[in-house]
Amino acid sequence: MKHLPVIVISGFVIILLFFMICVDIVPLDKVGVRSNMLGDGVEKQDLKPGMQIIIPGIHKLDILDPTLQELTFATERGEGPLKLRTSDQYTTQVDLTIFYSIREGKAWEVLTKMGPGYAFTHRFGQIARDAIWRVMGKMKTEDFYDSAKRIEFSRKTIIYLNKELAKMTDDKKGMVEANDLLIRKVVFDPRFETQLINKQLLDQRTLLAKSEKLREEEKEKTELIEKKTAADVLAINESKRQQIQTKIAENEREVAKILADARLKVKTRLSVANRSKREAIANAEKMKEIARAQGQKAINEAYQSFGGKMLLSRKFVENIQVGKIEINTNQVNPFDTEQFLKMVGAEVEVNK
């Protein structure tokens, strides 16, 4: 029991020494490839970030970058500018960048077939340079002025490069993938620059001549259009004028018809009214005559009665004048014949 603390401390020290000597760390953004120096060589697996057992004298650990990397051909950095012999036999200097990455789980194969670190980068650069020469060497120098063609040949170069990389392994996808190619700068052959300037001047003169010709043709077309338009306007105006005159005449005929119909209706109604008036007057006169006749008949019938006769006698006597003699019915009874005759001086013979 007395030796227990010593044993524990010794064990802890041994474990600590083991970790310090036999454990290595793979960084978070990297992958590790372990090789057995005494046995099978490179292990066919990628070691993930973290602590890995690496026994000195037996194991070797290589660190590779699986993230997106770039290979640049440029004057100021990288592999230097890339000189292309184009299909029209001019030398064109191109600055470009290729983006690529190690496929997941393929770092051990890259280490086996392309080497670690600088060896891998150098080998990839050789394969990429060959692909660029083979594909972009088919371009004409003037194609570098056309952005659509630059993009097209860049895509073709990436496709060709990936096929070449796939040939290095049994996997059809390959162990390294080229993602994109970016052309940064193009320096043309001085001879081509001179020829291009002359060609541009010629093209400009040709374009100017075409523009002048096109301007004259468009001018003629414009004049024809103006004349046709003027003629169309006149035709339209004449057509509209005729339509207006026709419409006015139609309206006048319609108004005249309406007025004639109105006058006819007025005359008809006046005629009917006059006829009704005459009939009413005639009926009134007829009723009046009938009433007068009926009144006269009634008067005659009244005079034929006893009282009527008395009344007529009285009226007769009241208005008789004999010379200057006036018969006053207030003093004389007009119905006393004898008295009446005496008053007028007539002789009266009385029959007894």
Identify any residues that bridge with 36 across adjacent strands, giving them in sequence order.
41, 59
Closest by CA position to 68, among listed 104, 113, 43: 104
Q: How confident is the model over 203-229, as a mean pLDDT?
A: 81
Closest by CA position to 102, among listed 64, 72, 60: 64
Does the pLDDT at position 60 exceed 90? no
pTM of the complete model: 0.51
CA dihedral 312, 313, 316, 317 (to 10 degrees): -150
Q: pLDDT band for 201, please (50, 70, 90 cuts).
A: low
CB 176 within 8 A of CB 124: yes
CA dihedral 39, 40, 46, 47 (to 10 degrees): -10
What is the pLDDT at residue 329?
Answer: 54
Helices of type H across 305-328: 306-318
Q: Give φ, ψ of 314 to 5 degrees.
A: -60, -45
CB 348 within 8 A of CB 341: yes
Does the pLDDT at position 270 exceed 60? yes
Q: What is the pLDDT of residues 27-59, one digit of tens each?
A: 988 999 999 888 788 888 999 998 887 778 788
Q: Structure tokens of 172? A: 């059809």
> Cα 297 to the chain's mean position, in Å?
101
Neighbouring C-alpha atoms within 13 Å toward the C-beta of 253: 6
Q: Give φ, ψ of 317 to 5 degrees.
A: -65, -40
Give Cα separations from 66 to 29, 30, 49, 295 (angstroms): 8, 6, 11, 145
Burial string for 162-172 (b: 16+ CB within 10 Å, else e) reads beebbebbeee
What is the pLDDT at residue 256?
Answer: 81
CA–CA dist 245, 83 (Å, integer): 84
**Structural domains present in the chain:** 17-62 (no CATH), 67-188 (3.30.479.30), 312-343 (no CATH)
- The amino acid at 172: K
Q: What is the pLDDT of residues 153-193, one digit of tens each?
A: 999 999 999 999 999 887 788 899 999 999 988 888 788 76
CA dihedral 231, 236, 237, 243 (to 10 degrees): 150
In sequence order, what are the residues at sequence separation of 6 or more whose Cβ sits closer than 8 angstroms to the Cβ of residue 129? 73, 79, 82
What is the pLDDT at residue 249?
Answer: 80
What is the pLDDT at residue 352?
Answer: 45
